[in-house]
Each structure stands twice: as C-alpha cells, then as structure tokens.
C-alpha cells in the first residue's frame, strides 16, 4: 500500500456532535492531506435534514418528545432518521488522483469501497442510476434511490450525500443495519399521515439485519465497522492508521 488512510472510530454520539465533527473534518482538511474515514453511530437516535431543507417541513417537537435529536447536516440530500445504522464519513481531496476530478468520480470511488464491504458480507450490491424529478423533490431520503446510492436486490441499503469546497470534499452516508429508519414518518407534518408512506419505505429499503438474518447488536456494529475499514483501505490502496 502507498499512503495513509486516517481512521476515526467514534462509536455512538449525539446528533449535533456527529455533525459538528464531520463539519470540522471538512473545515480543517487541506488539498493533499491524507484522506480521512470516520465511522460512527447515534445515541440517542437523530433526525437529520439536508443543508437546504426547510425545518418547518418536519415536526421537530415530536422528535424531541420521542427523545430523538433533530439536527441539520452540513451536506445536502433529504431527511433521515439515524437509529439502526452504521454511518461513514470520508474527507479527501478532489480534484486529485485518488478521488478523481468531479463529484461523480468521488462518489463512484467511495461506492467501490461500499460495494466491496457488502461483498465481504456475501451480499451482491448495485449502484443506482437515479430517480425521477418528482422523487428527487420528496422530503424523505430513503423513499427512493438517487444516483450513486447503493442497493441490494433492488432495495436501497446505503444513502450518501456530499459537500465540496476549496478543493476538498466531505461525503457521509448511512448504512442501514435495522428497520427503524422507517419511523421517520412519525416526524412528518400530521404525524406521518401520508397514506402508505411507511409501507412504501419498507418496500424500497432493506438493511443488514434483514439481509443477513441477524440482530444489529453493538458487537455486530463493531465487527461491521472493522470490515468497512478493510474495504476502504483495500479499495483506495492505503494503509489504515
């Protein structure tokens, strides 16, 4: 291997802390610095909304009443309930030789690592070609698979978002490990009154627990995090430190 992949294993943190740490990694990264892979979880669960989404489109009070955090991400995309998942963040240089010259290049490089991670679990994944304009305007991230998102058996299992500035980028994404992301409908206006939205989320998403027939315990999350580090290091040809 040539070069270093800086690895940060943070465990479970509050929503605001997770987003502050990702934003700080982006802020402090300079073109040419060693790339960073941060892996973390959420405690308590948190609803995050995209950088450009309107907070008024969600019931933040209902989230607080449920004991969940409610926070804005430094990246775009749509709302997610982070409950049963393993979250990754990558910070790197673009344009550059490792992640390519464009947003698309960086996504696809990272997706190769994510697909390799799923393959290490015996899962065959594909990268989504995109969604319709109407789907792209929706409030809920996992309701449809946008371009660059990862599916197994035609159902979305990883969703990601990216922000680029000053020749560097932050990409972070949710690897679903259990079904609790579907509870996001509780925090839409009207308490998730949109007919069939919960069932639709169940139909178009899947998770590692369902795919592997296991419970997403803390120990399994730790094991999956180790495999994720290995997949990124091998894909990027870097030494994880």
Q: How far is Cα 47 from Cα 131, in angstroms, rounded to an integer?
A: 23
Residue 68 is classified by DSSP as -
The residues that are catalytic are 141
121 burial via Cβ count (<10 Å: 0-12, 13-18, 19+): middle
Dihedral sign, Cα of residue 159, residue 185, residue 182, residue 85: positive
Dihedral sign, Cα of residue 19, residue 168, residue 144, residue 175: negative
Across the beta sheet with 150-152, what order do the strands follow?
125-127, 150-152, 155-165, 168-176, 85-93, 36-42, 4-13, 239-240
SS3 at position 31: coil
4-13 and 36-42 beta bridge pairing: parallel
Q: How far is Cα 122 from Cα 227, in angstroms, rounded to an integer?
A: 12
Residue 146 is classified by DSSP as -
* Whether 93 contacts 168, CB under 8 Å: yes
Side-chain-side CA neighbours of 97 within 13 Å: the count stands at: 7
Taking the mean position of all CA atoms in its chain, how far away is CA 62?
23
């Amino acid at each position: 291997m040539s070069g270093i992949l800086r690895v940060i294993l943070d465990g479970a943190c509050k929503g605001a802390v997770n987003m502050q740490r990702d934003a700080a990694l982006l802020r402090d990264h300079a073109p040419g610095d060693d790339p960073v892979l941060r892996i973390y979880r959420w405690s308590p669960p948190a609803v995050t909304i995209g950088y450009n989404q309107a907070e008024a489109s969600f019931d933040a009070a209902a989230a607080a009443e449920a004991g969940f955090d409610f926070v804005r991400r430094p990246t775009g995309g749509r709302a997610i309930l982070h409950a049963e998942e393993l979250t990754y963040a990558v910070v790197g240089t673009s344009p550059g030789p490792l992640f390519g010259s464009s947003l698309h290049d960086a996504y696809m490089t990272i997706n190769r690592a994510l697909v390799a991670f799923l393959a290490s679990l015996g899962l065959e994944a594909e990268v989504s070609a995109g969604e319709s304009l109407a789907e792209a305007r929706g409030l809920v991230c996992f309701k449809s698979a946008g371009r660059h998102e990862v599916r197994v058996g035609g159902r979305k299992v990883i969703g990601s978002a990216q922000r680029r500035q000053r020749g560097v980028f932050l990409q972070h994404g949710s690897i679903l490990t259990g079904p609790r992301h579907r509870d996001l409908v509780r925090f839409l206006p009207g308490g998730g009154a949109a007919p069939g939205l919960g069932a639709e989320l169940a139909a178009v998403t899947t998770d590692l627990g369902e795919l592997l027939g296991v419970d997403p315990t803390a120990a399994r999350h730790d094991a999956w995090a180790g495999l994720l580090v290995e997949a990124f290091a091998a894909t990027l040809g870097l030494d994880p430190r």
